Amino acid sequence: MENISLDFNRTLGFISQESIDSYKADAEKFNLALHDKTMRGNDFLGWVNLPSSISNEHIEDVEATAAKLSAKKLDILVVVGIGGSYLGAKAVIDALSNNFQQFQDTDAPHVIFAGQNISEDYLAELRVLLQGKEYGIVVISKSGTTTEPALAFRVLKKDIEDKYGKEEAVNRIIAVTDASKGALRQLATEEGYKTFVIPDDVGGRFSVLTPVGLIAIACAGFDIRALINGAKDMEAQTSPEVKFEDNIAAQYAAVRNELYKKGKKIEILVNYNPKLHYFAEWWKQLYGESEGKEGKGIYPSSVDFSSDLHSMGQYIQEGERTLFETVLSVKSVDNTVLVPKDEANLDSLNFLAGKHVDEVNKMAELGTVLAHVDGGVPNLRVEIPKVDEYYLGQMIYFFEKACGISGYMLDVNPFDQPGVEAYKKNMFALLEKPGYEQATEEIKKKLK
């Protein structure tokens, strides 16, 4: 069985192999610390051995729940959540779905999302869509109190109860939340929703392999066992028993930290497959929320190539030299399109006649890497044999483990997110939430 692989040779013109190797001791120490739970944030390390600890009974429970919902012949499943409570599911479902899935008649429901923004138009247009559809809801919140999903669910809960009646609505709602605390836990218990627990020791951005991601991915009709198996294999391949020189998670952490020390402050995750757009969104939260602390951290960015070569290509080629790229390179595609010969050849593309379109994409990828490296942008490459559940599972765990090691190399706590509270406090003060009277007064003075 092939594995995903990491190639950082096109960073060696900017940093040395010796400098990368100098991270060996730290990388191995920090990897071990993730398993021994001996460093900061050690209350949130449940993800480290999660893949190998998921029981068959749990998987069967998730699959049975998905089957029960699907038996209702749902047109749509609405997943309500924000941040890590939706990005993992969105990333995996998008990566595995037909590019035009919304126009496909499939046995599985179309999975769409809500509560990931505060757009009145989005919610209004979703409500209209749902009126004419058979649907269910998965509402996900680890804290159970995040405003965006809570607001969306308050609206959608009333709608689904109005449409189906209270009793049937309960059969169409699944809650994924804390085992014992939070508003969503209380609501789910009072209403009698089928609930799944987000383990206390797994933070949102690391929770895609818990019911947070698994329920929606299973309802979308995808193979969560293969996803978990990929993650399980990568858990083994990046364990502390695997030494630095063979451990791609440790190496990725070392290379990105050495590039950061050399002034490369922005990492751009690059894909050449539009289905991976939301994988980058998931990766941005994972790294941005784990490392952006104490005035430090690589800023995680992303582009969709070759499309964004026509929008961001100029900056990446010739802008401020604080960038490096990590390219997600998919080895094999699922379909075949050959370039046809055209007698008139007005577009002068007959030199491509008979080639696979993916061959053009691959040469665009290689040509871009060479141009960007020549332009002063170090390049790493993660090769993925194909985009399926198994290799997505490998990718998820690879980036999670590397993130933990990298955050410790940066000397931050990778597993908290104190900075996310600032906007919430201001928002509640401006909305005059009860209990925020003093904050309201202060913020209004600030606005005068």
Ligand X SMILES: O=P(O)(O)OC[C@H]1O[C@](O)(CO)[C@@H](O)[C@@H]1O
Q: Are 193 and 70 in contact (CB under 8 A)?
A: no
- Is 284 one of the annotated active-site residues of the chain? no
331-370 residues near ligand X, rule: CB under 6 A: none
CB nearest ligand X: which residue?
A: 204
Which of 204, 297, 300, 407 touches ligand X (CB under 6 A)? 204
Which one is catalytic: 28, 258, 267, 289?
A: 289
Instruction: Point out which span in 81-89, 187-195, 236-244, 309-317 binds ligand X (CB under 6 A).
Output: 81-89
Q: Are 416 and 35 in contact (CB under 8 A)?
A: no
- The distance of Cα 91 from the centroid of its chain, to the nearest Å, equals 5
Which one is catalytic: 73, 310, 446, 448?
A: 310
* Smallest separation (angstroms) from ligand X to the CB of 81: 6
For the chain, percent helix, then strand, then coil, each to nearest 5?
55, 15, 35
Instruction: Point out which span in 65-73, 135-143, 244-252, 304-312 binds ligand X (CB under 6 A).
Output: 135-143
Which of 31, 85, 229, 413 touches ligand X (CB under 6 A)? 85
Q: Are 380 and 6 in contact (CB under 8 A)?
A: yes
> Is 205 an interacting residue with respect to ligand X (CB under 6 A)?
yes
> Is 290 an interacting residue with respect to ligand X (CB under 6 A)?
no
> Is 142 an interacting residue with respect to ligand X (CB under 6 A)?
yes
- Is 35 one of the annotated active-site residues of the chain? no
> Is 84 an interacting residue with respect to ligand X (CB under 6 A)?
yes
Which one is catalytic: 341, 386, 424, 425?
A: 424
Instruction: Point out which span in 79-87, 90-98, 365-373, 394-402 binds ligand X (CB under 6 A).
Output: 79-87
* Residues shown for the chain: 448
> Is 83 an interacting residue with respect to ligand X (CB under 6 A)?
yes
Which of 143, 301, 306, 361 touches ligand X (CB under 6 A)? 143
> Is 417 an interacting residue with respect to ligand X (CB under 6 A)?
yes
The C-alpha atoms of residue 389 and residue 408 are separated, in whole angstroms, by 29
- Taking each helix axis as running N to C, give the angle between helix 211-219 and helix 87-96, from 0 to 180 degrees, rounded to the nearest 10: 30
- Is 289 one of the annotated active-site residues of the chain? yes
The C-alpha atoms of residue 377 and residue 119 are separated, in whole angstroms, by 37
The C-alpha atoms of residue 366 and residue 372 are separated, in whole angstroms, by 10
Query: How many residues sit in the footprint of ligand X (CB under 6 A)?
Result: 14
* Smallest separation (angstroms) from ligand X to the CB of 207: 7
Residue 177 DSSP SS3: strand
> Is 146 an interacting residue with respect to ligand X (CB under 6 A)?
yes
- The distance of Cα 412 from the centroid of its chain, to the nearest Å, equals 21
Burial class of residue 438, CB neighbours in 10 A (0-12, 13-18, 19+): exposed
DSSP per-residue codes, 247-291: -HHHHHHHHHHHHHHTT--EEEEEESSGGGHHHHHHHHHHHHHHH
Select 117 or 314, whichever has its Cβ closest to ligand X: 117
Q: What's the one-letter identity of residue 325?
A: E
Residue 94 DSSP SS3: helix
> Is 403 an interacting residue with respect to ligand X (CB under 6 A)?
no
> Is 88 an interacting residue with respect to ligand X (CB under 6 A)?
no
> Is 118 an interacting residue with respect to ligand X (CB under 6 A)?
no
* Smallest separation (angstroms) from ligand X to the CB of 203: 6
- Strand 379-384 versus strand 5-7 pairing type: antiparallel
Select 65 or 177, whichever has its Cβ closest to ligand X: 177
Kindly tell me the sign of the dihedral angle through the C-alpha atoms of 241, 246, 249, 255: positive
Instruction: Point out which span in 10-18, 138-146, 221-229, 360-368 binds ligand X (CB under 6 A).
Output: 138-146
State the catalytic residues: 289, 310, 424
Q: Footprint of ligand X on this chain (CB under 6 A)?
A: 82-85, 141-143, 146, 149, 204-205, 289, 417, 420
